[in-house]
Every structure is written in C-alpha cells, then in structure tokens.
Amino acid sequence: MDLTQPDAVDVALRVLLTEPSYAAQTLITTARMLEIDAPRPMTAAARKHAMDIAIDAILSRLPEAVNHDSVRRVYRALPPLAPAGTRGEYALRLRAAARDLG
C-alpha cells in the first residue's frame, strides 16, 4: 500500500467536514446575488429572485431528497425581511445565517 497518497475515503471525509453545507452554500450565493445591487432597498421580490438563482446554481443537480432537505434548511435559516434595509445589509445577515448552518 502506497502511504504517500491519501486514502480516497479520507479525502472525501475531509472535504465534507470542511465545506459549507449545501444550504449554507445556497445562502452565501443568495447573498452574493443581493450584493450586486447592495445599496438598493431589500424587498421580498429581490430575495426570491436571488434565492431562485442560488437554488438553481447550487441544488438543481443534486438528488431530489438532498435538494428538498437543503431547500427546507435554507428557508428555516432565512432572517426576517423586516427591518430589511438595503440588499447589502440583508446579505450580511444571510452570511451570518450561513455560518450558523455550517
């Protein structure tokens, strides 16, 4: 056995333990979308549009069960819109929620 190459299972576990969850990745991508127009007011429509893009980008190719579970986790972690302020301010709150999800 060649000990210079890490075991594939060890590599996979290391990635799983260090990468953010799919739900956290979706929140981060939603935040990035909102940061494009950071000074504009935050609205429910803006959040939905940014989330739709993030969900499609991060979750659309995953197995259905993983997709549905991740979407549920995203919605449970969403900060309330009020007081929403700007899209940039809400993006900061989304990033904090993503850190909490891990």
Packing angle of the helix pair 22-35, 87-101 (nearest 10 deg) = 170
Does residue 88 fall inside a structural domain? Answer: yes
User: How does pLDDT run across 70-93, given as a tens digit for each residue?
Assistant: 999 999 999 999 876 999 999 999
Please give the tally of structural domains in the chain: 1
Taking the whole predicted model, whether its pTM rises above 0.85 is answered as: no
SS3 of residue 21 by DSSP: coil
Does residue 44 fall inside a structural domain? Answer: yes
Does residue 38 fall inside a structural domain? Answer: yes
Does residue 29 fall inside a structural domain? Answer: yes
Distance, in Å, from the CA atom of 24 to the CA atom of 100, rounded to the nearest integer, reads: 8
Does residue 96 fall inside a structural domain? Answer: yes
* 3-state SS track over 66-102: HHHHHHHHHHHHCCCCCCCCEHHHHHHHHHHHHHHHC
User: How does pLDDT run across 36-52, given as a tens digit for each residue?
Assistant: 999 999 999 999 999 99
Domain that holds residue 95: 20-101
Does residue 60 fall inside a structural domain? Answer: yes
Give the chain's mean pLDDT: 89
